């Protein structure tokens, strides 16, 4: 029934010569027939080859750099049922003095992206399954009706926005960043394949990470040697389609140059990455690691870079750990990860630099949060636990013992169904 209603025309908007009225009358969102076809082609062309990771990047790609304050003013007055304000009219005039259809397309795309990303990011952060746009309006012979989108994927339909993929990616980036700035720390489980990630998301975790040990070991490759790059990157691309933010463990960059790594990260579609300063035979010089971080943040500013400091693995003093962490934050890292740190004093000393990530340990999430921790990762724990459970189950079968609890065949099939993926959030 929803599909039939969505096939109806959108309500006609009055013509307007200036301001928001002009904008409404010239964008694809409120068009039908030949106008809709022409304007949709135009908006699709404007988005060709755009790989924005933030709204600022998207604005620049649409030749509207620095326009977000005006876009934020226009957005509450954009829909035809909303009140037009003088401020919104003035904002449109600043952004489109020439009044071309292309200018309207650029503004309309950015307004819709701004509204959708903020709403979707909040839904992702709170694990709210409701669509960011709850209703749409259609014209019938008896008047305008509201159509619920509760069971309809975001951005799809006969009047689908061509920018839904970009908007979804930016929203995931925004949500993932916000999850590091809450009162309670983010508990981030680490998966090693699609099904483990989908199962963890289905269990209610708002974001998923990957584990380098799990990915490498599952392919018969030693961890930490920089040899599992192809496998880690392939998994990151696969998991980017999950309806939640994903962060990928890229070890130390798998030997790529700063520019090569930055280009790879920009094309992955994930909301975050881990980048460690450990190398197969020791620690990288901090300035070398800083160059990797700087390059990634320059090319993909919306991707959350979690700078892992491996000093604790090697028994280095807390002062060097803090010095390295500060260098990485100064280079643009969004968070720091110090595996192995457990002493409350050390944790508190590091927590003030940036959102601090530690491995799961004896303390509860609340206790770690009270020390300033913002993210708790399971690391390779889940993969190692799965191996142990696998062996224990096989032994139970061999020895005639109960096999223990397991997912059913149907439950696993459900986890890998198209419904667990989404090209629109």
Distance (Å) of CA 194 to CA 181, 303, 309, 359, 415? 27, 21, 27, 22, 9
133 lies in some domain = yes
- Looking at the structure, tell me whether residues 98 and 205 fall in a common domain: no
Q: How many Cβ atoms sit within 10 Å of the Cβ of residue 135?
A: 11
Q: Tell me the whole-structure pTM to 2 decimals.
A: 0.93
- Looking at the structure, tell me whether residues 66 and 45 fall in a common domain: yes
Cβ(271)–Cβ(245) below 8 Å: yes
pLDDT at position 158 is 56
Domain end residue (candidates: 144, 166, 188): 166
78 phi and psi angles, rounded to 5 deg: -75, -45
Torsional class of 251: left (φ above 0), alpha (ψ -120 to 50), beta (otherwise)? left
Span 178-197, average pLDDT: 97
Domain end residue (candidates: 166, 193, 226): 166
pLDDT at position 1 is 59
108 lies in some domain = yes
The long-range contacts involving 97-105, CB below 8 angstroms and separated by at least 24 positions, are: 99/22, 101/26, 101/39, 101/42, 102/42, 102/46, 104/22, 104/23, 104/26, 104/27, 105/26, 105/27, 105/28, 105/39, 105/42, 105/43, 105/46
Rounded Cα distance, 25 and 317, in Å: 64
Look at the alpha carbons of 202, 205, 206, 210 in this order and tell me if their dihedral is positive or negative. Answer: negative
pLDDT at position 42 is 95
Q: Enter the tokens of residue 195.
A: 């099904």
Q: How many Cβ atoms sit within 10 Å of the Cβ of residue 136?
A: 19
Distance (Å) of CA 271 to CA 173, 247, 316? 5, 6, 31
Residue 315: band (very low, low, confident or very high) from pLDDT cuts 50, 70, 90: confident
Could you report the per-residue pLDDT of 98-120, keeping only the tens digit for each? 999 999 999 999 999 999 999 99
- Looking at the structure, tell me whether residues 34 and 183 fall in a common domain: no
Quick one: DSSP state of residue 205?
Answer: -
Domain count for the chain, please give it.
2
Q: Enter the tokens of residue 22.
A: 């002009």
Note down the domain range covering 263.
179-387
Q: Where are the alpha helices (DSSP H) in 79-210?
A: 86-95, 101-125, 164-178, 194-202
Largest CA distance in the chain: 81
Q: Enter the tokens of residue 322.
A: 């803090």
Could you report the per-residue pLDDT of 212-264, keeping only the tens digit for each? 999 999 999 999 888 999 999 999 999 999 999 999 999 999 999 999 999 99
- Looking at the structure, tell me whether residues 249 and 314 fall in a common domain: yes
Cβ(307)–Cβ(329) below 8 Å: yes
| CATH number of residue 222's parent domain | 3.20.20.60
Could you report the per-residue pLDDT of 404-419, keeping only the tens digit for each? 899 999 999 999 875 5
145 lies in some domain = yes
Asked whether the predicted pLDDT for residue 156 surpasses 80, the reply is no
Rounded Cα distance, 226 and 252, in Å: 7
pLDDT at position 130 is 83
Rounded Cα distance, 175 and 402, in Å: 42
Residue 422: band (very low, low, confident or very high) from pLDDT cuts 50, 70, 90: very low
295 lies in some domain = yes
- Looking at the structure, tell me whether residues 156 and 194 fall in a common domain: no
Q: Where are the alpha helices (DSSP H) in 300-416?
A: 318-330, 344-351, 365-370, 381-398, 409-415
247 lies in some domain = yes
SS3 (DSSP) at 396: helix
Cβ(79)–Cβ(88) below 8 Å: no
| Residue count of the chain | 425
For the chain, what is the mean pLDDT? 92
- Looking at the structure, tell me whether residues 108 and 207 fall in a common domain: no
pLDDT at position 423 is 42
């Amino acid at each position: 029934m929803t599909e039939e209603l969505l096939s109806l025309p959108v309500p006609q908007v009055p013509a307007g010569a200036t301001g928001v009225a002009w904008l409404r009358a010239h964008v694809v969102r409120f068009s039908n027939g030949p106008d809709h076809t022409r304007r949709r082609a135009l908006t699709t062309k404007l988005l060709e080859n755009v790989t924005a990771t933030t709204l600022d990047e998207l604005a620049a790609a649409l030749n509207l750099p620095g326009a977000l304050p005006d876009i934020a003013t226009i957005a509450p007055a954009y829909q035809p049922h909303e009140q037009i304000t003088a401020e919104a009219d003035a904002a449109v005039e600043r952004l489109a003095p020439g009044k071309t259809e292309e200018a309207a397309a650029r503004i309309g795309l950015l307004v819709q992206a701004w509204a959708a990303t903020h709403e979707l990011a909040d839904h992702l952060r709170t694990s709210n399954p409701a669509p960011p746009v709850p209703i749409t309006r259609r014209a019938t012979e008896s008047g305008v009706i509201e159509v619920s989108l509760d069971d309809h994927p975001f951005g799809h339909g006969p009047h689908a926005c061509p920018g839904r993929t970009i908007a979804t990616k930016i929203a995931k980036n925004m949500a993932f960043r916000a999850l590091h700035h809450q009162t309670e720390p983010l508990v981030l489980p680490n998966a090693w394949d699609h099904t483990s990630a989908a199962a963890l998301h289905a269990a209610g975790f708002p974001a998923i990470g990957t584990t380098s040990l799990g990915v490498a070991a599952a392919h018969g490759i030693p961890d930490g040697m920089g040899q599992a790059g192809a496998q880690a990157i392939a998994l990151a691309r696969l998991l980017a389609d999950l309806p939640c933010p994903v962060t990928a463990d890229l070890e130390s960059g798998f030997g790529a140059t700063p520019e090569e790594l930055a280009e790879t990260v920009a094309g992955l579609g994930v909301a975050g990455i881990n980048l460690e300063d450990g190398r197969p035979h020791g620690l990288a010089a901090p300035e070398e690691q800083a160059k990797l971080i700087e390059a990634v943040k320059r090319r993909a500013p919306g991707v959350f870079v979690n700078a892992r400091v491996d000093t604790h693995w090697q028994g280095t003093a807390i002062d060097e750990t803090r010095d390295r962490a500060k260098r990485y934050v100064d280079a643009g890292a969004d968070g720091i990860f110090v595996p192995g740190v457990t002493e409350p004093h050390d944790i508190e000393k590091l927590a003030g630099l940036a959102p601090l990530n530690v491995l799961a340990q004896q303390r509860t999430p609340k206790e770690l949060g009270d020390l300033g921790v913002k993210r708790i990762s399971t690391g390779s724990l889940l993969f190692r636990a799965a191996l142990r459970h696998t062996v224990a189950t096989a032994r139970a079968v061999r020895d005639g013992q109960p096999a223990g609890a397991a997912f059913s065949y149907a439950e696993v099939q459900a986890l890998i169904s198209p419904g667990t993926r989404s090209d629109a959030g």
